[in-house]
A and B are shown apart, each in its own frame.
Chain A
Amino acid sequence: MLKQITVFLENKPGRMEEVTGCLADAGVNLHALSIADTTDFGILRIIVSDPDRAEAALKERGFMVKTADVVAAAMGHRPGGLHHILKGLKALDVSIEYMYALTSRHSDHAAIVILSLANQAASVEKLKAAGFPLLDESFLKQLSES
């Protein structure tokens, strides 16, 4: 499991720029990012080099910030790589709440999918039992090094 930083953003010009400025000042590197947008607000979800520092810095700037545990799975960086993972989830009857992906230069996991799953704790157990290539915090360090 990985720690994701989640930020509530109103749909107002300049809000994203405030977030990136804050992270830059705190010396936090961004590995992956996605935004769920609605008419009035967005939810920014990021995977960063140092979640604790990012959370503290954003909170200090007055943002509504929470951390959430998400699942990271390595996949082949080739056609069908993600499909292979999703086929596995379907077979195990695991539902996805939201997902996004990143690539890295690290050869062991050149492509990674970030997942938030329905009934997450139980779903993760199913995935582990089925031998899914799940990643933990240590892979963030590798990302920063690679």
Chain B
Amino acid sequence: MERYWNKPAETMDRGHIREIQLEKLRATVQNVYSNVPYYREKMQAKGILPGDVKTLDDLSSLPITTKQDLRDTYPFGLFAVPMEDIVRIHASSGTTGKQTVVGYTRRDIDMWAECMARCLVMEGADKSSRIQVSYGYGLFTGGLGAHYGAEKLGAVAVPASSGNTRRQITMLIDFGVTHLCCTPSYAMNIAETLADMGHTKDDLKLVSGCFGAEPWSSAMRAEIEARLGIRAYDIYGLSEIMGPAVSHECSRQNGLHIWEDCFIAEITDPDTDLPVPEGGAGDLVITTVSKEGFPLIRYKTRDICTLNTQPCECGRTHARMSKPAGRTDDMLIIRGVNVFPSQIESVLLSIGEVQPHYQIVVDRVNNLDTMTVEIEISETMFTDNVKGIEEFEKKVGGQLNSVLGVGAKIRLVEPRSIARSEGKAKRVIDNRKI
């Protein structure tokens, strides 16, 4: 018997979903036109007035929003309500040193918790569950996003945050935790540490977990499930749109249901931003229609997916997106943190390197992502003693860590040793077997 958190909302017929979407879309467009000058100007430039949105098909005539728009309006330029109505902000590292900031009203937080609660129920949780949230708590949306959903559900939230894996395992065992939320690579790390500590999966009461914020494969899912003795569910989200719980797998595990009463998803051609034929792959573009504080119109996620609106055996009518198959930009996800090669370049430029030749080598060691930035040594970096070079590496490493929010090892390499194609260096080598 399938259980739901909000059965009427989750199983309403698609006609009804579309009615709600149109009504909320029109209100959202009116809201941003009235309250966000940046959007008003964009719409005026395209000659569109809020009243022009008459059907859902009119969505594709609205302007696209990109990460660059978020940067251009840093920090609060896209907020649609006065700051006194904002109750929380989250942020993710930006591409040029500045963060991307998002804001939530009290109602937004509640809507987010509602979405998260629906997800947790999909993976079998209820108010008797104990949910350990091992996503980082802080500006990153993972920790608090999952936490509020667990509380909304009435379950016991264990706000473990990330790190200190042995203590995490002690809590899993001693507190009788039934559900785990973290990145898939951290789940693997927990599984390995469990064995190192002399425990087995039988010492756990875990039933399932939702894992997201980074790409993972079905092979990795099978391994997490076998090693922890659980069912592992995929969860999707991004801070710009809300955070985790934009979509999540149901028990059929055949795509992630997007909460379409809150978000309108489109699949578009990455170059033209026009919708692709139904079922085709392209850039996932999301319009938030239930948010007050930080509504976004047609936000280009740059995740490549397909969308399936066929009925699902679980009874939910909300469309399913495929697990993202890649990115339409060069963004990397390192331990759940978004990293752009341009951020690394800006750090090197900021310390006076005129034309840095660098390469980012990503790998996964003991199920944790590692990032090494290889930099071709230049005259200014080179000294005749080791101390001078090590000080340089330390300085670059420190600045990268503060800009990216994730540690990187710096390795100086010989001039011209990074392969170039057509004069340009290949910036990223990803050796992770995901």
Interface residues in A23-49 (C-beta closer than 8 Å to B): 36, 38, 40-41, 43, 45
B412 x A40 contact (CB < 8 A): yes
**Are B384 and A41 interface neighbours, CB within 8 A?**
no
Given A8-B412, A9-B414, A40-B412, check contact A64 B384 (CB 8 Å): no
CB distance from A116 to the nearest CB of B (A): 7
Do A41 and B389 have beta carbons less than 8 Å apart? yes
Q: Is A100 an interface residue (CB 8 A)?
A: no
How many B residues, CB 8 Å from partner? 18
Give B204 Cβ to nearest chain A Cβ, in Å: 38
- Against A, the Cβ 8 Å flags (1 = close, 0 = not) of B383-394 are 111110110000
Chain A residue numbers with a CB within 8 Å of B386 are: 36, 38, 43
Chain B CB within 8 A of A50 CB: no
Is B385 a contact partner of A64 (Cβ separation < 8 A)?
no
Residue from A40, A45, A68 having most chain B Cβ neighbours under 10 A = A40
Q: What residue of chain A has the Cβ atom nearest to residue B409's Cβ?
A: A40
With a 10 A CB-CB cut-off, give which of A10, A64, A68 has the most chain B CB atoms.
Answer: A64
Contact of A98 among B377, B385, B413, B417 (CB under 8 A): B385
Tell whether A66 is near chain B: CB-to-CB under 8 Å: yes
User: A residues within 8 A CB of B384?
Assistant: 4, 6, 43, 45, 66, 68, 116
Give the Cβ gap from A1 to chain B, nearest Cβ, in Å. Answer: 13
Highest count of chain A CB atoms <10 Å: which of B377, B378, B384: B384
**A62 at the A/B interface (Cβ < 8 Å)?**
yes
Does B379 lie at the interface of the complex (its beta carbon under 8 Å from any beta carbon of A)? yes
Q: Is the CB of B385 within 8 A of A43?
A: yes
Tell me the complex Cα distance, A25–B190, Å: 57
Most chain A beta-carbon contacts within 10 A, residue among B378, B389, B416: B389
CB distance from B378 to the nearest CB of A (A): 8
Chain B residues within 8 Å of A68, by CB: 384
B415 contacts the other chain (CB 8 A): yes
| Bound Cα distance from A80 to B386, whole angstroms | 29
Could you tell me the distance between the alpha carbons of A6 and B377 in the complex, rounded to whole angstroms? 13
Is A97 close to B, CB under 8 A?
A: yes
Q: At the interface, yes or no: A63 with Cβ under 8 Å from chain B?
A: yes
CA distance A62 to B415 in the complex (A): 7
Return chain A residues, CB-CB under 8 Å to B377.
Answer: 8, 64
Do B390 and A10 touch across chains, with their CB atoms under 8 A apart?
Answer: no
Residue of B with least CB distance to A62: B416
Known: A8-B414, A10-B413, A10-B414. A66 touches B385 (CB 8 A): no
Judge whether A38 and B390 touch: CB under 8 Å.
Answer: yes
Q: Are B412 and A41 in contact (CB under 8 A)?
A: yes
Which residues in B have their C-beta under 8 angstroms from that of A8?
A: 377, 382, 412, 414
Residues in B lying within 8 Å of A, measured CB to CB? 377-379, 382-387, 389-390, 411-417
Residues of A near any B CB (own CB < 8 A): 4, 6, 8-10, 15, 36, 38, 40-41, 43, 45, 62-64, 66, 68, 97-98, 116
Other CB < 8 Å A-B pairs besides A6-B382, A8-B414, A43-B384, 19 of them? A4-B384, A8-B382, A10-B417, A15-B414, A41-B389, A43-B385, A43-B389, A62-B414, A62-B415, A63-B414, A63-B415, A64-B415, A66-B382, A66-B383, A66-B384, A68-B384, A97-B385, A98-B385, A116-B384
26 chain-A/chain-B pairs, Cβ below 8 angstroms: A6-B382, A6-B384, A8-B377, A8-B382, A8-B412, A9-B414, A10-B413, A15-B414, A38-B386, A38-B390, A43-B385, A43-B389, A45-B384, A62-B414, A62-B415, A63-B414, A64-B377, A64-B414, A66-B379, A66-B382, A66-B384, A68-B384, A97-B385, A97-B387, A98-B385, A116-B385
